Amino acid sequence: MGKKDASTTKLPVDQYRKQIGKQDYKKTKSVLKATRLKAEAKKNSSGFRDAFLVVAAIVLFVLCLYAFFYLNLSTEVDLDLDMD
């Protein structure tokens, strides 16, 4: 099979991509711009969401640690008061 013969057969995936590309040309520039801006906003907002989740996890860990020590120390103090 020569190079010329190989290029004539197209995969269904390539045909699908070409069809999708043609559909993009039919859209107006304002629709394409809005789609692009929406995708960029979604991409950029994920960084803030990830940072917020990390901070929330740290705060939750510190609160759990505080509650653990508070409960342990408060029961010891109550036992000391009862003994007197």
For the stretch 12-65, pLDDT in tens is 888 888 887 777 666 677 887 888 888 887 777 677 788 899 999 999 999 999
Structural domain boundaries enclosing 38: 14-45
pLDDT at 1: 52
Give the list of residues 6+ apart from residue 32 with CB closer than 8 angstroms, or none: 24
pLDDT at 3: 57
Q: Is residue 51 in a domain?
A: no
Tokens describing residue 16: 């699908």
pLDDT at 59: 98
Q: Is residue 3 in a domain?
A: no
Number of domains in the chain: 2
Could you give the 3-state DSSP secondary structure of residue 84? Answer: coil
Tokens describing residue 73: 């120390």
Q: What is the pTM of this model?
A: 0.41
CA–CA dist 73, 79 (Å, integer)? 10
Q: Is residue 1 in a domain?
A: no
Q: Is residue 62 in a domain?
A: yes
Q: Is residue 52 in a domain?
A: no
**CB–CB of 56/48 below 8 Å?**
no
